[in-house]
A and B are shown apart, each in its own frame.
Chain A
Amino acid sequence: MKGAHKSSSAALWWLSLLALGVAAIAWLVGAGDGGLGAVGRWVFTTQRDLHHALTDAVTSLDRAPSLPAWWTLLALSFGYGVFHAAGPGHGKAVLSTYLVSQGGAWRQALALSCAAALLQGLVAVLLVLALVEGLGWMTREALGSVAWVERLSFALVTLLGLGLCLRACRDLLRLRRSSAPAAASVLASAPPLGQPVATGHGRVGDAFGARPPEPVFTSFAAVTAATTTPSPSVGHAPGVACCSGHHHLTPQAIEGRRSALLAVLAIGARPCSGAVLLMGVTALLGRPWMGVVAVLCMSLGTALTVSTLGLASVLARGWAERRLAAASSPRRLAWVAPLVALAGGVVIAALGVMLSLQVDEGAGSLPLLMRPAGTGLTGP
């Protein structure tokens, strides 16, 4: 027990990290209307100016197409993406809580951030093309549909959080049992616990099922491998990286990839209202391709900001891990990781639930020039 004191003081670091995350989320959820600092104000006004400039650029490009006008539009779109950051604010909170609490290598963080940002743009493009061009909806109705995609996205956030909780619980259970002699045989019964979590990719399960240290996850992966993934573009992304994150604190690779995929979906499913509006307007002008290109540029800008945040999260966790490793015994460390993962899962699930509740409350309070509640230009 001589390590107890050290490990508890080290756990304090983790707690303060998580507390930071929680505070940030409370801020995000509670202060949708406020919380601006001096830097914030600058970001704020820049965002607004970019929005104005982007509107002008589209209008003038529509009236008189020219190469400089195109460059202006693309540059503004990129800048808008950078400043709009994670598009929906919750994306950033989910991403950094996820990376800090679950761990992951920097390459995974990059892949996850970029995939989420690009998915966001893709959803905006496809939403408008499908609803307006495909189904013949009015643009205003299509814009209103963002509220529904938003609900879906928040549900995915909740699901992700719950999944992470279940996974962490199972890891804790496994750890507890592994101290008993019959550990290996008992382990095999654990997987069903995690079943609802599964949003997997067949290839992922196959590739990692063969890894030696985790027979439990092999069988789990086999059960869930058939689950399909809606976005092939993100399927391969996090995988490249997760081997290099082979740390004593890093959660299991397979599960990691599965939850990374869910994280990408949860963050990326909700398109940014600005992108949907831009897409809708260019479609209205009869130039949907202009919108597609501009929205993709926007996504690149968003990817830049989000991956910076992702990398910062990985660095922050790495730093805390090193401090912890220096301070405690490996045996205690084994307990810290799943506990932190559990806390992260709880935070993300709570965030998902809070956001879901907020959608309904906020829907009617938006100052729409026309029909209130649910239709029209909704979004944060």
Chain B
Amino acid sequence: MNKGNAGRGGWSLLVALGAALIASPLQAHPHGWVDLSVRLEVDDRQRLTALRQAWRMDPFYSLVLLEEIAASDQGMEAALDRLGSEIAETLAPQGFFTEASRNGAPLSFAHVTDTSVLNRDGRIVLHLRLPLAEPVPLDNARLTYRVFDPSYYIEVVHEADDDGVPLANALVVPDGLDCVHRILAPDPDPAQIQAAAELDRDDRAAPGLGRFFAETGVVEC
């Protein structure tokens, strides 16, 4: 056998093997998703006061939750309410998966005020109101937000049609405001993702992979 050829073959094999193994972290793909819709809530001075969100759980997750609700002896309504407060409790320490900024400055949120859970056509829908710590004016402001599960175990996507085009209810800005809005698809940069993974090991950086796969809602007024 020609030694040079054998050597090249061997090396390319090793590279392929290595690549296959390096693909392992890809196991961290989401195992469930949430269809998101967001509505801006403003006060009478046109300041942003809260993000109202509706999370529509995927059919599998909904089925699993519905089984528990059905098994509850408190009745459907009470069980749904309890589910709502349980979810709120779990998500509160994680900032309700929501990050927002105004003109590049991060906004801080207060605790979620109203949560309610519905069963809509076999899908569990969680409604929540995430108030800002203090209202911010929207004139000449560029508001961006992302809703994501940092670990990317659950993927959060805006409500969209089959082609991935956002639906009208995906992001709603109140009528009185003179704003344009759009939803940006995620564009994860491999280097950025790698850096995030490295920072995560020290628990210093805000976690995760999920951020880089998050859609960004943009509102410009």
Contact = CB atoms under 8 A, between A and B. Distances in A.
Nearest to B60: A281
A350 B183 CA distance: 45
B75 interface: no
Contact of B151 (A84, A143, A365): A365
B176 interface: no
Contact of A284 (B64, B90, B97, B207): B64
Interface in A5-46: 17, 20-21, 23-25, 27-28, 30-41, 43-44
B112 interface: no
Interface string A115-146: 00000000000000000000000111001000
B28 A33 contact: yes
B26 A319 contact: no
B194 interface: yes
Contact of A316 (B10, B19, B149): B10
A377 interface: yes
A379 interface: yes
Contact of B190 (A36, A56, A274, A277): A36
A355 B190 CA distance: 25
B13 A274 contact: no
B71 A138 contact: yes
B200 A33 contact: yes
B21 A37 contact: no
A21 B16 CA distance: 12
A24 B94 contact: no
A92 interface: yes
A2 interface: no
Contacts of A274: 31
A280 interface: yes
A89 B27 contact: yes
B104 interface: no
A175 interface: no
Contacts of B28: 32-33, 380
A174 interface: no
Contacts of A39: 19, 23
A88 B29 contact: no
Interface string A267-299: 000000110011011001100000000000000
A274 B151 CA distance: 16
Contact of B29 (A47, A281, A322, A365): A47
B21 A27 contact: yes
A284 B71 CA distance: 12
Contact of B198 (A34, A37, A278): A34
The SS class assigned to the B binding surface is helix
Interface in B40-71: 57-61, 63-65, 67-68, 71
A67 interface: no
B194 to A, nearest CB: 5
A52 B33 contact: yes
B22 A370 contact: no
Chain B CB count within 10 A is highest, among A88, A143, A280, A367, for: A367
Given A24-B24, A51-B33, 15 more contacts: A17-B14, A21-B21, A23-B18, A28-B24, A30-B201, A33-B151, A34-B194, A34-B200, A40-B25, A85-B26, A96-B17, A96-B20, A274-B31, A369-B65, A379-B31
Contacts of B197: 30-35
Chain A CB count within 10 A is highest, among B16, B18, B29, B87, for: B29
A235 to B, nearest CB: 28
A204 interface: no
A23 B30 CA distance: 25
22 contacts: A24-B21, A27-B21, A28-B21, A33-B28, A34-B196, A35-B25, A35-B193, A40-B25, A40-B26, A55-B58, A85-B26, A140-B65, A315-B13, A316-B10, A316-B17, A322-B6, A366-B151, A366-B153, A367-B94, A369-B61, A369-B90, A377-B153
